[in-house]
Amino acid sequence: MLIPVILSGGTGTRLWPVSREAHPKPFMRMNDGQSLLQKALERAASVEGVTSVLTITNRDYYFQTRDEYAADPVSKGLALDYVLEPIGRNTAPAIAMAALYLQEADPDAVMLILPADHVIDDREAFDAAARQAERLARAGLLVTFGMRPARPETGYGYIQVGKALDAGGGPESFQVQQFVEKPDAETAAAYVASGKYLWNSGMFCFTPAAFLEALQAHAPEVLEAALACAQATRTDAAPVELDAETFAAMPSISVDYAVMERVGNAAVVACDFGWSDLGSWDAVSEYAELDDTGNRLIGEVIPIDTINTYVRSEDRLVVTLGVNDLVVVDTADALLVADRSRVQDVKRIVDELKARDHEAYRLHRTVHRPWGTYTVLEEGDRFKMKRIVVKPGASLSLQMHHHRSEHWIVVSGTAKVVNGDREYLVRTNESTYVPAGNAHRLVNPGIVDLVMIEVQSGEYLGEDDIVRFEDHYGRA
């Protein structure tokens, strides 16, 4: 059986301010309203015969990942399994844990490794390439997918193709001659002109046994650490949460460096199905409609004497006047204005925000939680206002704050409130008060979203002023 393994992690620093540490690139929505993660799931499900999908993601992203999948109708026909990482450790450890999991669950499985942050336009061609890769993988090869280059590109690694392989029809396939690091512009142009190089897509296909054997031969320290983690992890749980201590001890290394660049049995399927890894705002802008002045505009945007500019506005009017060759990305709490030639350097902004300990590198104004979301509406000296949305049947932890009190006003739905030794209902247009030091809990007992406004007052309003006593999501 072919089992897609979706790798959903990373922070997508070059797509700040939309991609942030707590809301990374796979959750970014494209122009059609779908997230990249949903597109990855649909891409996996489009391969003929696929009935189950394994997702490797961070524990902090599990509930949002589950919600993204549940909102996509294609998920109803799939068995969805999860392996949750306590921290990020790059692709080789993630794939190693997936291989160990699948080897135990289905010894005949073939793994189709799909990063969650790609876009592929032609699913029929992708399906053909995936089937070709499966045939090669069943013959014992470690298969990657190489994209026929549309232009000289310095942002991608390349694969030099070797001898052609006979895989019984389907897309052209080759032995891998070598993997090449990201080239300079002159070298990239030479690669494209030669016709012997493909873009390295970061997608792979192999059997668990073949991958683990390659790890043993070329990166035994990764395999040893993975086996120790598997031994310490309860694998019969759903989802599987990897043991934090042993996983943290794993080397942080990519699958290319650990395995693919070292093995002698690597193969590549040559593909042409409209692929992009959306590694910069320039790449993202290609999916917006081009107007007759070279502009690509998303949201409420008025361009005046503006040329060759990408503007993405999430929730307010943006007007540009007399500018050229810019990227403008406006979110609720941060604005990016960049020269188009510098979009690869956006990650420097994230580095600077981290150095200043500014929370904009990590959080949006709307923050996702297992139970729903909260949005900071306004914050000032000794007060903060939030809009809180609690999903049907969900509840916040039983908790207490030392330094703040809270007023809750229900906008819609019904809240069940635990407040000290009292339990009661608060309905639409009603309110309640939670003093500092009181143990309290908020529950949505209904079948529609509970929406409320929270007003916090006190000398300290940080999110770390919380003591959890009980929690349905394992955070206590």
pLDDT at 243: 96
- For residues 116 and 58, what is the distance between their CA atoms, to the nearest angstrom? 13
Tokens, residue 142: 């470690």
pLDDT at 189: 94
Closest CA to 175 of 256, 112, 263, 265: 265
Q: What is the pLDDT of residues 142-185, one digit of tens each?
A: 999 999 998 998 888 999 999 999 767 778 999 999 999 889 99
What the chain holds in terms of domains, given with CATH numbers, is: 2-276 (3.90.550.10), 281-347 (no CATH), 366-470 (2.60.120.10)
Phi, psi of 270 (to 5 degrees): -80, 125
Asked if the model's pLDDT at residue 11 lies above 90, the reply is no
Asked if the model's pLDDT at residue 473 lies above 90, the reply is no
pLDDT at 237: 87
pLDDT at 376: 94
- For residues 382 and 342, what is the distance between their CA atoms, to the nearest angstrom? 40
Instruction: Assess contact for 10 and 24: CB atoms under 8 A.
Output: yes
pLDDT at 476: 74
- Length of the chain equals 476
**Can you tell me which residue has the tokens 């992708």?**
126
Asked if the model's pLDDT at residue 475 lies above 80, the reply is no
- For residues 19 and 29, what is the distance between their CA atoms, to the nearest angstrom? 10
Its pTM surpasses 0.95: no
For a pLDDT cut of 70, what percent of the chain falls above it? 100
- For residues 455 and 378, what is the distance between their CA atoms, to the nearest angstrom? 10
Pairing of strands 335-339, 467-470: unpaired
- For residues 56 and 9, what is the distance between their CA atoms, to the nearest angstrom? 8
Tokens, residue 237: 């749980």
Asked if the model's pLDDT at residue 49 lies above 80, the reply is yes
pLDDT at 235: 85
State the Cα angle at 365 between 362 and 368, rounded to 5°.
75
Instruction: Identify residue 131 by its one-letter amino acid code.
Output: R
Asked if the model's pLDDT at residue 389 lies above 90, the reply is yes
Task: Return the biggest CA–CA distance within the chain.
Answer: 76
Instruction: Assess contact for 118 and 36: CB atoms under 8 A.
Output: yes
- For residues 420 and 400, what is the distance between their CA atoms, to the nearest angstrom? 10
Asked if the model's pLDDT at residue 250 lies above 90, the reply is yes
Mean pLDDT of 342-353: 95
Q: What is the pLDDT of residues 394-422, one digit of tens each?
A: 999 999 999 999 999 999 999 999 999 99
DSSP character at residue 305: S
Query: Greater confidence, 94 or 31?
Result: 94
Q: What is the pLDDT of residues 441-454, one digit of tens each?
A: 999 999 999 999 99
Instruction: Assess contact for 116 and 30: CB atoms under 8 A.
Output: no
Instruction: Assess contact for 82 and 57: CB atoms under 8 A.
Output: yes
Q: How many helices (H) and strands (E) does the chain have?
A: 11, 29
Asked if the model's pLDDT at residue 236 lies above 80, the reply is yes
Q: What is the pLDDT of residues 258-281, one digit of tens each?
A: 999 999 999 999 999 999 989 899
Average predicted confidence (pLDDT) for the chain: 94
- Residue 225 class from Cβ within 10 Å (0-12 exposed, 13-18 middle, 19+ buried)? buried
- For residues 276 and 155, what is the distance between their CA atoms, to the nearest angstrom? 11
pLDDT at 6: 98
Assign 12 a pLDDT band (cuts: 50, 70, 90).
confident
**Can you tell me which residue has the tokens 């809009």?**
387
